[in-house]
Amino acid sequence: MASQKTSNDQIGFLGAVAIGVGGMVGGGIFAVLGLAAVLAGGATPVAFVVGGLVALLTAYSYARLSVAYPDNGGTIIFIDKAFRIDWFTGSSNMLLWLGYMVTLSLYAVAFGNYAATFLPKDWQTSLTSHLLISLGILIPTALNLLSAEAVSRIETYVVGLKIAILVLVVAVGFGGIDRQRLDPGGWPSLLSVVGAGMIIFVAYEGFELIANTAASVKDAAKTLPRAYFVTVLFVIVLYVLIALVVVGSLTPDAISQAEDFALAQAAKPSLGQVGFTLVAITAVLATFSAINSTLYGSARLSYSIATEGELPKHFEQKVWNQPVGLLVTAGAALALSNLADLSSISMMASASFLIIFALVNLANYRLREEAKSNRWIALGGVVLCVAALVALIGHVAGESPAKLWVLVALLGLSAGLEGLYILFLKEEGRIGRIRGN
């Protein structure tokens, strides 16, 4: 396998951290914070710690594998390298792609919810909500088709802005925390807390984007591990502090009523309406930015899967200089965001990435000699991801068992689509880069 390493290395430590933080602190925290607070109550900060521990252990596997196999394909290369190209790996990579579609729909719903807060009350109808959600996908799709490079230059500034606003909300909001609202005596069951942490795990998805730039990172052997761990640790601390401010500043009823824009509501006690507006603007920009970058990345993901021989060769074609997978991804996300509810979308996205991360940890274990990895840490990552997935399924089964069929449908779709491709559409001789080398 070609490493795609070039002499034009240009991404340093701070650049890699910016990519990881930008990918993690995108639309996820704005979309699922209210949901987490409703589910876990005063234990919401603990729920974010639980999710963060899973992300931190998985970051170790990504760090080792990124150093050993620096390639623009990132996750799919790790899975294909460890398990070889077949129906299983094809289905796994298909699940990863579907996971990004689900994540896009989650961001679009958050975009619509926050954008609606700027409209007059009588305009805030179901029809308007669906229109805003749809625009949240259609406009970034058009921008990607017309000038993806121009839009990507704005990403760095948006990342800096949203981090600055979140830090401001945390710094100012700490003065308004009511400690009684954080009292462990009022926490739900441990299973509910862990389940909440897994449902909002999608908020931690994003650090794996560093893997897609590994071939262009300076002094990768030292820079990549540091970038992964600093990124995840920083985001864990940020999320816990944000959760403390939200559940400590708002009553449970207020959180429930403002579930779709809880973070903006939490800025009100300390910053007033100005704080609410400031966070809402940041949320609109952040979710729009996250949609744009996720569309950009997922389109190239579909292209990489196709070059591995796991999708029809038509996905290697381009429309207006962009992979045709961009339109497929946008269409699927558009449908899902308008048809599914927020908790179902979040559950599907979190479950998808927990499965993929379990496979990446297992890949790290299988490739431990080449990756120079600690076998016990790699196995620990597998066990923790599987346990987290079981906790998520257990929580959903106890609260809304019918929603488990949504997950079953997602898994069946990824396996079924890959199976149909292998049986009827795969061209003889298409073996992909991994097996080909």
Token reading at 75: 């996750």
Would you say residue 317 lies in a domain? yes
**140 pLDDT above the threshold of 90:** no
Would you say residue 437 lies in a domain? no
Predicted pLDDT at 155: 63
Pick from 246, 141, 167, 163: nearest CA to 200: 246
Distance between CA atoms of 403 and 195, rounded to whole angstroms? 14
pLDDT 10s digits, 160-188: 787 888 888 888 888 778 888 888 888 88
Instruction: For residues 349-360, give the mean pLDDT.
Output: 91
What phi and psi, each to the nearest 5 degrees, are found at residue 187?
-75, 150
**138 pLDDT above the threshold of 90:** yes
**6 pLDDT above the threshold of 80:** no
Distance between CA atoms of 330 and 127, rounded to whole angstroms? 20
Residue 38: how many other CB atoms lie within 10 Å: 16
**359 pLDDT above the threshold of 70:** yes
pTM for the model: 0.84
Cβ(44)–Cβ(346) below 8 Å: no
Would you say residue 79 lies in a domain? yes
The number of domains in the chain is 1
Distance between CA atoms of 196 and 50, rounded to whole angstroms? 9
Would you say residue 7 lies in a domain? no
Would you say residue 308 lies in a domain? yes
pLDDT 10s digits, 227-259: 999 999 999 999 999 889 888 888 878 877 877
**Considering the chain, what is the average pLDDT of its residues?**
84
Look at 293 and 365; give whichever has higher pLDDT: 365
Look at 135 and 176; give whichever has higher pLDDT: 135
Predicted pLDDT at 110: 87
Residue 8: pLDDT band (50, 70, 90) is very low
Would you say residue 339 lies in a domain? yes
Instruction: For residues 14-34, give the mean pLDDT.
Output: 79
Distance between CA atoms of 132 and 379, rounded to whole angstroms? 43
Q: CATH number of the domain that 113 lies in?
A: 1.20.1740.10
Domain encompassing residue 83: 13-432
Predicted pLDDT at 147: 65
**434 pLDDT above the threshold of 70:** no
The residues near 351 (Cβ < 8 Å, ≥ 6 apart) are 389, 392, 393, 407, 410
Residue 115 vs residues 62, 134, 163, 281: alpha-carbon distances, Å: 35, 12, 19, 8
Instruction: Break the chain down into helix, strand, coil percent, rounded to 5.
Output: 85, 0, 15
Would you say residue 65 lies in a domain? yes
Distance between CA atoms of 372 and 328, rounded to whole angstroms? 38
